[in-house]
Structure formats: structure tokens, C-alpha cells
């Protein structure tokens, strides 16, 4: 399987993306410099080719997103190592509208496991496609912001960005 990547700059920082012919495999959260974005696991493999033109539309949408424009990310994931539960959690998370939040319990109910809110948190913690699979939109049932692999400060910034956005 051939893998492709790109790295590009947004208003929030540098982002890298890895994909196969089947879909997106991983992307980074914005990083302060290009070198940090290029440290995304998987980019050091010999089988990964730099092909920025393959990501032109995705790059444009990321740039618009971090400029505060409401864009969608309908891109197909290709995450072969994911469990069926993780896939279900990530699919349910993609249903959360831009600028809105839902609880871990809401996701658990959507995937048919209403008592699995903690397991939902675990699956979201392994999300390889932040922003595309908008795990930053998932909060505690009491409305508190809880866990985020990129840090709560990044989660807050993403939610604030979406709440202040304009429609495209």
C-alpha cells in the first residue's frame, strides 16, 4: 500500500497529513513549526511520499477552518488498526455539528453502549484525525471540558474558534 503525506501552514500552525489510496490515516493538530508537524508517527517510513497536490482541497479546508470559517471534513478515513468500537465512536463523533458539543454519554448511547462513556473517552483519546473527527466537541455530561489529547487549552481554542466562526 502506498502512503502519501503533506505538510502545510494554517493560521494556527503547521499540520501534517498521511493518507493511502483508500483515505486519511493520520493528521496532526497544529504545531508551532514545520519540523514538529513532520514528527507525526508514520512520516519517517520510507514508503511515504510527499504529494501535496493530493491534499490541495483538504489543505484549503484546514486553512479556512483555522481562519474561522465553518467548513466540513467529509474525507474518508483509512484506519485499519481501529477496533469496531473505536470506528463506531469516531463515526458518531463526526455527527456533532460544527460549533456544538455533545457528551461522552451521548456518544455512548449513539453507539449502543449507554454505560460506556469512559470507553468512549478512551477511543477518542486514540483519534488519529483530530478536527476531521472532531473529538474536541465532546464534553462531560455536566458541561465541563474534560480530557483532550492535545491538551485542554487546545480544546478550548478549537471550541472558541467554532463558536465565533462564519458560515462558508
Active site residues: 135
Contacts of 20 (CB under 8 A, 6+ apart): 1, 2, 3, 4, 78
Q: What is the DSSP letter of 52?
A: G
Residues 3 and 46: beta-carbon distance below 8 Å: no
Reduced to 3 DSSP states, what percent helix, strand and coil does the chain have, rounded to the nearest 5?
A: 35, 20, 45
Contacts of 18 (CB under 8 A, 6+ apart): 3, 4, 5, 24, 25, 26, 27, 40, 42, 43, 48
Amino acid at each position: 500500500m502506498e502512503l502519501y503525506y503533506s505538510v502545510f501552514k494554517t493560521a494556527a500552525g503547521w499540520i501534517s497529513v498521511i493518507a493511502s489510496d483508500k483515505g486519511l490515516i493520520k493528521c496532526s493538530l497544529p504545531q508551532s513549526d514545520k519540523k514538529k508537524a513532520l514528527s507525526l508517527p508514520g512520516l519517517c517510513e520510507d514508503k511515504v511520499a510527499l504529494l501535496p497536490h493530493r491534499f490541495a482541497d483538504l489543505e484549503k479546508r484546514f486553512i479556512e477552518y483555522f481562519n474561522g470559517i465553518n467548513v466540513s471534513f467529509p474525507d474518508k478515513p483509512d484506519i485499519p488498526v481501529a477496533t469496531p468500537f473505536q470506528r463506531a465512536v469516531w463515526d458518531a463523533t463526526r455527527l456533532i455539528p460544527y460549533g456544538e458539543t455533545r457528551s461522552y454519554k451521548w456518544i455512548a448511547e449513539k453507539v449502543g453502549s449507554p454505560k460506556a462513556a469512559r470507553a468512549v473517552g478512551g477511543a477518542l483519546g486514540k483519534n488519529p484525525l483530530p478536527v476531521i473527527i472532531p473529538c474536541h466537541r465532546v464534553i462531560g455530561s455536566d458541561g465541563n471540558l474534560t480530557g483532550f489529547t492535545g491538551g485542554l487549552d487546545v480544546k478550548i481554542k478549537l471550541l472558541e474558534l467554532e463558536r465565533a466562526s462564519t458560515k462558508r
